[in-house]
Chains A and B, each alone.
Chain A
Amino acid sequence: AAGVIQSPRHLIKEKRETATLKCYPIPRHDTVYWYQQGPGQDPQFLISFYEKMQSDKGSIPDRFSAQQFSDYHSELNMSSLELGDSALYFCASSLFGLARETQYFGPGTRLLVL
């Protein structure tokens, strides 16, 4: 079965640079969530989208923005990168309906800020 796809899988950036992470949800899934996971920590919710509109917002810094496109893929844009942004970034998708809460995670993008 098709899963959530994320690209790139690894990314190295310098401080103050920008980065764009992409997420392709499971086919027919209309909801996308972004999570950030620091080393040894639990995933922290950043932001979510349903039908191309922002549906919920968590601890996402103002330096980050995101959107969902007409094909339901989503991009997380990160600017003025800081050392503390180094983390695993996961995208998860779900299908709005009876099991709307059930989220399936992608393989993640490992971001290293030097």
Chain B
Amino acid sequence: GENVEQHPSTLSVQEGDSAVIKCTYSDSASNYFPWYKQELGKRPQLIIDIRSNVGEKKDQRIAVTLNKTAKHFSLHITETQPEDSAVYFCAAINPPRRSGYALNFGKGTSLLVTP
């Protein structure tokens, strides 16, 4: 199965700075990489995703880059705000089998944005 590693486990930045979270995956057949934001006790919320046929995707202050050769992908948050504070999970899809697309999550990064 897929193994996803995520770094760092905690990240503290000042408001307005950028934050970068990195993930690596093991299975070169993986082709879908979403990022979820989870506030304490709440649901994981999809914030951005990227497919293996694309190298970069941007949505306002959030961007994701994918390096298929190196098997890693990164989340970039610019102009961070206190409300960006949360746990961020990267994930990769198991190689599709039958009709299932189970997510394999990284261990999460706890981001703290201080005013």
Interface residues of A (CB under 8 A from B): 31, 33, 35, 41-45, 48, 50-51, 53, 55-56, 58, 88, 90, 92, 94, 96, 100-108, 110
Q: Which residues of chain A have C-beta atoms less than 8 A from B36's C-beta?
A: 105
Best-buried of B36, B89, B101, B108 by chain A (most CB within 10 Å): B101
* Residues of chain B at interface, number, CB under 8 A: 25
Q: Give A42 to B4 CA distance when docked, in angstroms.
A: 11
Q: Which residues of chain A have C-beta atoms less than 8 A from B45's C-beta?
A: 105
Q: Mark B3-27, 1 if CB is under 8 A from A, else 0.
A: 0000000000000000000000000
Q: Which residues of chain A have C-beta atoms less than 8 A from B104's C-beta?
A: 45
How far apart are A99's CB and chain B's nearest CB, in angstroms? 9
| Among B89, B99, B107, contact of A55 (Cβ-Cβ < 8 Å) | B99
A48 and B89 contact, CB distance less than 8 A: no
Q: Which residues of chain A have C-beta atoms less than 8 A from B34's C-beta?
A: 101-103
A105 and B99 contact, CB distance less than 8 A: no
How many A-B residue pairs have C-beta atoms within 8 angstroms? Tell me.
69
State the main secondary structure of chain A at its contact with B.
Answer: strand
Q: Give A101 to B100 CA distance when docked, in angstroms.
A: 9
Given A90-B43, A90-B44, A108-B43, are A58 and B106 also a contact pair (CB < 8 Å)? no
Write the chain B residue with the least CB distance to A96. B99
Q: Please tell me if B102 contacts chain A, counting CB pairs below 8 Å.
A: yes
Q: Give A103 to B42 CA distance when docked, in angstroms.
A: 16
B42 and A45 contact, CB distance less than 8 A: no
Q: Give A48 to B46 CA distance when docked, in angstroms.
A: 19
| Among A31, A88, A96, A104, contact of B46 (Cβ-Cβ < 8 Å) | A104
How far apart are A46's CB and chain B's nearest CB, in angstroms? 9
A42 and B106 contact, CB distance less than 8 A: yes
Write the chain A residue with the least CB distance to B98. A55
Best-buried of B44, B49, B93, B97 by chain A (most CB within 10 Å): B44
How far apart are B13's CB and chain A's nearest CB, in angstroms? 21
Q: Which residues of chain B have C-beta atoms less than 8 A from A100's C-beta?
A: 101
How far apart are A10's CB and chain B's nearest CB, in angstroms? 11
Q: Which residues of chain A have C-beta atoms less than 8 A from B106's C-beta?
A: 42
A56 and B97 contact, CB distance less than 8 A: yes
